[in-house]
Structure 1
Amino acid sequence: MRAAVVTEFGGPEAVRIVDAPVPEPAARQVRIKVEAATLNPVDAGVRSGGFGGAGTQLGLGWDVAGTVDAVGVASAWQPGERVVALQYGVAKALGTHAEYVVVDTDAVAKVPASVDVVHAATLPLNALTAAQALDLLDLRPGQSLLVTGAAGAVGGFAVQLAAHAGVEVTGLAREDDEELVRSLGASAFVTDGTEGGFDAVLDAAVLGERALARARDGGAYAGVIPQAEPPSVRGVRVAAVEVAADGARLAELARLVDDGVLTLRVAETVPLEDAQKAHARLAEGGVRGRVVLVP
């Protein structure tokens, strides 16, 4: 099968398409024939060496949507089922940017019925990150939340999930993103982040201390890069999410897609063999929605 990998760190040109054996599922695993796989900033981080692993082959891709085509012993899934999944890991030989991928059975959920497979592929990593970051903040209906990077993939999901839960959401993004952010459910919009006093901040833009400063005394802050959160000040509870594969939670998020609560945004699709071009597009910045690779 074909797979996108890096063996040397660098820019988009470091991405290679290689031939690799089709992986076999072990007990409590499934193999998915990939129909769509999202390109995320974490893939650029792996490609550039941000997570280490020099001298080894590193597979790219965390998100997948496709069809189960083989199962191991004690799997809860059957061949032919359409699914989405998160394959966690920055140091794996093969990722989801491939023609087939093996994942744990409890990382899998059914594809949302209301969207096509390309849009479905944008759900797992970013929606799970947003949901699990909101778990860390533990907000109640009526409390206030600032979401930085509110027009991005994680930030957009966070706005929608928090607003759906009755939280008063303020979105921080660029001025020309105001209409989008408000359409996602933000009741207020800011561009400079100078307003403060929020019960919590979800820092999807990775502003660090600048975002933390917007939380009220004794409030809460959640970052999206593990071990990269700023130190606590003024009694603000500080944490960072390390996303975990969770098929049950992913199924809940898929239902919210079907209920119209979550919006899946695709910027463009790119053939797997043109993965370098997809990385170059991501590196340009300003992408609204995700670039999705199609084998």
Structure 2
Amino acid sequence: MRAVVTRTFGGPGVLEIVDVPVPAPGPGQVRIRVQAAAVNPVDTATRAGLLAQAGLMAPRDTLGIGWDAAGVIDATGPGVTAFTTGDAVIALSDRLDVPLGTHADHVVLDASAVAPAPAGVPATHAATLPLNGLTAAQALDLLDLPRGATLLVTGAAGALGGYTVELAAHRGLRVAAVAGTADERLVRDLGAEWFVPRTSADLPAAVRALVPGGADGAVDAAVIGPRALEAVRNRGAFVAVAGGAAPAPLRGIRVANVWITADGTQLAELSALAAAGRLTPRVAGVLPLTEAAVAHRRLDEGGLRGRLVLTP
């Protein structure tokens, strides 16, 4: 089978398409024939060596790329009862230091990282759900805000930010969304009550003009750090989505990083919301697996709305 790997760190050109044996599932595992796999910032950071530099992964001769997958189970290991061959599923590979990722023809994962695919949603769209949807849900879990509380979401028009806005609105939170001016209609349709242009000269003041005293919490999907923290009220809550991006917990604000974990039960809940039209997968483009380097280059350039998706 084919898989996207890197043997050295650098730009998109270091990615290789290699032929490797089809892996076999072990106890408690399933093998998925991948139909679609989203490309995320963690993939480009892995390829560039940023995660290794941060000490988040050990050196490895060959490193697999890819976290998200949508496809069909074509083999199950001993002890698996929740899934069977032929099931359409979505899944998350949440380990960094692996020889094979989801950007491949097949991937083997623990059954606990897998959930039924959302009915009626194409695999290319369903593949955008695991990493970004779970990150959004787990960030909101960390904030632990009550219904009716106010939430600031930066990068609200992006893949992660968009899911965060929708899930927050679904949980009864009042959302102030920061995005580009052209994206105001989009983020309001996703459920934002207030819109704040990201080009605001004084972002905290713009947020506080809408939410007096500051927002009860914030999910900083745009990784702007202190500027977003300044828009949160005293003793509020703040969640950073990238390692090392959490600002100092000033003014008694509870600050945390969300460290994503694969959770098949929570992913199944997100899948059901997507099937019901309560979550909106957005695809910026679809490319064959052989154009993984092109996808990385486009993601590095920025400005995408939604995720690029590879189709093996």
Q: TM tier, shorter chain?
A: over 0.9
Give the SS at the match of 2:109: strand
Measure, in 1, the Cα distance between the counterparts of 2:85 and 2:298: 34
Contact 1:8/1:55 (<8 A) preserved: no
In the TM superposition, residue 209 of structure 1 has moved relative to its aligned partner by 1.3
TM-score (normalised: structure 2) = 0.93
Q: Which residue does the alignment assign to 1:259? A: 276
In the TM superposition, residue 9 of structure 1 has moved relative to its aligned partner by 0.8
Q: Which residue does the alignment assign to 1:275? A: 292
Superposed CA offset, 1:88-109 (max 9, x none) = 1222110000000000011111
Give the SS at the match of 2:26: coil
Contact 1:112/1:255 (<8 A) preserved: yes
Count of residue pairs the alignment pairs up: 295
Give the SS at the match of 1:51: helix
Contact 1:7/1:54 (<8 A) preserved: no
Corresponding position: 1:174 with 2:191: no
Give, as a single letter, the amino acid of the residue that structure 2 aligns with 1:251.
A
Corresponding position: 1:71 with 2:88: no
Corresponding position: 1:215 with 2:214: no
> Match for 1:230 among 241, 247, 257?
247
Measure, in 2, the Cα distance between the counterparts of 1:260 and 1:66: 20
Give, as a single letter, the amino acid of the residue that structure 1 aligns with 2:303.
G
Q: Which residue does the alignment assign to 1:190? A: 196
Q: What does 1:1-295 correspond to in 2, within 5 Å? A: 1-52=1-52, 53-54=58-59, 56-75=61-80, 76-191=82-197, 192=200, 193-194=203-204, 195-196=207-208, 197-295=214-312
Aligned-residue identity in percent: 54
Superposed CA offset, 1:13-45 (max 9, x none) = 111111111111110000000000000000000
Measure, in 2, the Cα distance between the counterparts of 1:82 and 1:55: 32
Unpaired runs of at least 5, structure 2: 53-57, 209-213
Give the SS at the match of 2:251: coil
The structure 1 segments of at least 4 consecutive aligned residues displaced by more than 4 Å after TM superposition are none
Range with greater deviation from structure 2 (166-175 or 225-234): 225-234
Contact 1:130/1:157 (<8 A) preserved: yes
Contact 2:60/2:97 (<8 A) preserved: no
Measure, in 2, the Cα distance between the counterparts of 1:286 and 1:30: 35
Give, as a single letter, the amino acid of the residue that structure 2 aligns with 1:285.
G
Measure, in 2, the Cα distance between the counterparts of 1:278 and 1:87: 19
In the TM superposition, residue 276 of structure 1 has moved relative to its aligned partner by 0.8
In the TM superposition, residue 228 of structure 1 has moved relative to its aligned partner by 3.1
Contact 2:125/2:281 (<8 A) preserved: yes
Measure, in 2, the Cα distance between the counterparts of 1:286 and 1:80: 37
Contact 1:278/1:291 (<8 A) preserved: yes
Give, as a single letter, the amino acid of the residue that structure 2 aligns with 1:15.
L
Give, as a single letter, the amino acid of the residue that structure 1 aligns with 2:220.
D
Give, as a single letter, the amino acid of the residue that structure 2 aligns with 1:26.
G
In the TM superposition, residue 114 of structure 1 has moved relative to its aligned partner by 2.0
Give the SS at the match of 2:51: coil
Task: Tell me the C-alpha RMSD between the 2 structures.
Answer: 1.0
TM-score (normalised: structure 1) = 0.98
Contact 2:35/2:123 (<8 A) preserved: yes
Unpaired runs of at least 5, structure 1: none
Give, as a single letter, the amino acid of the residue that structure 2 aligns with 1:91.
D
In the TM superposition, residue 182 of structure 1 has moved relative to its aligned partner by 0.8
Q: Which residue does the alignment assign to 2:211? A: none
